[in-house]
Amino acid sequence: MNELGLLVGSPSPRRVGRVLTYRKAAVVSLLFPPTGIASMYYSLKSAGLARKGEVEPAREAGGKARDWAWYSVGIGLTVYVIAFMAYVLFNNDGAVRIVFFAWSILSDRRSWVSLLKGFWINVQVFMITEVIVLVWALVVAIVRLLPGKACRPIRFLATLYVDVFRAIPALLVVSLIGLGFLQAKVPLAGDLSDMQYVILALTLTYGAYVSEVYRAGIESVHWGQLAAARSLGLSYSQSLRHVVVPQAVRRVVAPLLNDFIGLQKDTAIISFIGVLDVVARARFINNSKGTLAGYSMAAMLFLLVTIPFTRWLEWLQRRTQNRTQGGR
Amino acid sequence: MSFLEIRDVHKFFGEAHILRGIDLDVELHQVVCLIGASGSGKSTLLRCINALEIIDQGMIRIDGERCSGSGIDVDALRQEIGIVFQSFNLFPHMSVLDNITLAPRKVLRIPMDEAEDRALQLLARIGLADKARDYPDRLSGGQQQRVAIVRALAMEPRLMLLDEITSALDPELVAEVLNIVRDLARDGMTMMLATHEMHFAKEVASKVCFLHEGVILEEGPPEQIFGDPTEERTQAFLKRIIDAGRL
């Protein structure tokens, strides 16, 4: 031990002057030759320079070898994945392409019109359900977080609801409510339209999921925020409304959006109880033409709605972040 | 009868007996400084006074009115008592101005423009009028804490509780916050401070209380507590502070 003592230790005997030639990375990257060859060239150059003792140029070449190896990963993998998909699509005399993307059906205007009519039902269902779920799930989340002994029974009830409806497949809930409520003349809900039953069923299912998202968001807001709000004289509900919930909602936009995309897709379930939605109509097209192109077309319609929706919400989230977080 | 009377207050957190019989009187316009090691109960005592924590035994009275125990109007109580926290706790999703006007608008039902006028006056007094529309994240720690003080003052409280308000600040930002407290003291605000800034306590306090393991071991004017403490524990505590170069 030297005189610097235990905490400092002895000066390191290691060298920092090694030259990295990235030989292994270059060899692996040869699996994608266009960039792999460049990587190998620089790696060899680096090794050669290092042997001559020209450390700085050797390092520079080594760095280039590393950069090109990473290009091999990024570009090479992409090219190979796309090539594999093309291979699948056009193999067997294009059977895959014909089953999924038969041009004669894809270009048929009447099929698209029929599908769009059905898709409009799906759109209505998920738009209405999303609005109701947004409110209903927040109510459930807040009930689950009510403080105090007195609220224990109602907390328990809310927990039970969430546990039950998260556990049952949406398909079963839609079937049970959509077919059963009418048959059993359930009070208050014995005489609704198919679409209303579907909205009710999906609200109950997704309300359970989304309430958990809200709950996580509310719990993630530091307790000091509630303390500060209460200490200013705001009541518990005022504190939730003005301080805690707004922060919680901003934090859970991404998972909320995730659940809503799930909901948009799950509206496909309603074809099971005889609603002529996009999936039911796609099935007709498939059956009459003997392909699966109808489903592909329906899938495209879902894509068309979901992807812009995602981008829009991401933009919205970025905007609020820029506003509240320091842009120093 | 004192303005604030604290009688035999006890507080448990589960098994832990945090406050073990606190007795304290605070007169109007007094500045009382609570000193003592971490975990001695300073913060808990402040939080009990405005009912952020419910006391398990004892009595707290303000102006002769009971303000602990069951059946009290905690929201009304908290309008009388402002508290500022170590961690500022500004609302990050609101501008500085909204932070300050939220409670006056929602609790006191003061119209928006009136509340904003008053908030701007207060901000001007602490030199932050130009930050009114900014969000808290864009402010330095010292600026945030000054805003937090103004936010509490906007409710026009009769008592201010300051819970180690400079402990989370970089050293060069401490002075700007303490200057406001000094101004408040001069204006006659009744205050209780939990603090580690002994110099400051010495300067502004009318009374210093040394807390140790949930009781007030010694209280008196600052000259006596800092200059000639009688209790052995107080002497030991102050010696540690002096050894750390903080007094």
A237 touches chain B (CB under 8 A): no
Mean pLDDT over each residue of chain B, to the nearest integer:
94
pLDDT band, residue A327 (cuts 50/70/90): very low
Q: Which residues from B are below 8 Å from A327, CB to CB?
A: 138
Mean pLDDT over each residue of chain A, to the nearest integer:
88
Dump pLDDT digits (tens) for A252-265. Answer: 988 888 899 889 98
Whether the CB-CB separation of B139 and B147 falls below 8 Å is answered with yes
> Regarding predicted confidence, which is higher, A289 or B208?
B208
Q: Read off the pLDDT of each residue in A129-157 and give the average, rounded to a whole number.
A: 94
> Hey, where are the domains in chain B?
4-89+160-243
Give the pLDDT of residue A5.
Answer: 63
Give the pLDDT of residue A9.
Answer: 63
Give the pLDDT of residue A220.
Answer: 95
Give the pLDDT of residue B20.
Answer: 95
Interface of A with B in 287-306 (CB under 8 A): none
Closest CA in chain A for residue B48? A231
Give the pLDDT of residue A166.
Answer: 93
Q: What is the 3-state secondary structure (H, E, C) of chain B?
A: CCCEEEEEEEEEECCEEEEEEEEEEECCCCEEEEECCCCCCHHHHHHHHCCCCCCCEEEEEECCEECCCCCCCHHHHHHHEEEECCCCCCCCCCCHHHHHHHHHHHCCCCCHHHHHHHHHHHHHHCCCHHHCCCCHHHCCHHHHHHHHHHHHHCCCCCEEEEECCCCCCCHHHHHHHHHHHHHHHHCCCEEEEECCCHHHHHHHCCEEEEEECCEEEEEECHHHHHHCCCCHHHHHHHHHHHHCCCC
Q: Which residues from A are below 8 Å from B52, CB to CB?
A: 227, 230-231
> Hey, where are the domains in chain A?
23-101, 105-324
A246 touches chain B (CB under 8 A): yes
User: Is residue A2's pLDDT more than 60?
Assistant: no
> Regarding predicted confidence, which is higher, A6 or B229?
B229
Nearest to A294 by CA among A96, A93, A92, A99: A99
Percent of chain B with pLDDT over 70: 100
Nearest CB among B85, B89, B103 relative to A234 is that of B103
Give the pLDDT of residue B125.
Answer: 92
Mutate to test the interface with A, among B102, B108, B133 (most CBs of A within 10 A): B102
Q: Read off the pLDDT of each residue in A8-21 and give the average, rounded to a whole number.
A: 68
User: Is residue B246's pLDDT more than 80?
Assistant: no
User: Is residue A328's pLDDT more than 70?
Assistant: no
> Regarding predicted confidence, which is higher, A19 or A41?
A41
Give the pLDDT of residue A142.
Answer: 95
**Hey, are the CB atoms on A228 and B103 less than 8 Å from each other?**
no
Dump pLDDT digits (tens) for B18-61. Answer: 999 999 999 999 999 999 999 899 999 999 999 999 999 999 99
Dump pLDDT digits (tens) for A174-216. Answer: 999 988 888 888 887 777 888 899 999 999 999 999 999 999 9
User: Is residue A3's pLDDT more than 60?
Assistant: no
**Hey, are the CB atoms on A325 and B135 less than 8 Å from each other?**
yes
Dump pLDDT digits (tens) for B162-208. Answer: 999 999 999 899 999 999 999 999 999 999 999 998 999 999 999 99
User: Is residue A15's pLDDT more than 80?
Assistant: no
Return the CATH superfamily for domain A105-324. Answer: MetI-like (1.10.3720.10)
Give the pLDDT of residue A17.
Answer: 66
Give the pLDDT of residue B159.
Answer: 96
Closest CA in chain B for residue A244? B91
pLDDT band, residue A325 (cuts 50/70/90): low
Contacts for A80 with CB less than 8 Å, ≥ 6 apart? A32
A234 touches chain B (CB under 8 A): yes
Dump pLDDT digits (tens) for B93-144. Answer: 999 999 999 999 999 999 999 999 999 999 999 999 999 999 999 999 999 9
Closest CA in chain A for residue B140? A326
Nearest CB among A225, A231, A235 relative to B52 is that of A231
**Hey, are the CB atoms on B92 and A247 less than 8 Å from each other?**
yes
Pairing outcome for strands B215-220 and B57-62:
unpaired
- Cβ-Cβ contacts under 8 Å between A and B: the total is 70
The correct CATH number of B4-89+160-243 out of 3.40.190.10, 1.20.120.80, 1.20.1090.10, 3.40.50.300 is 3.40.50.300
Mutate to test the interface with B, among A221, A222, A223, A232 (most CBs of B within 10 A): A232
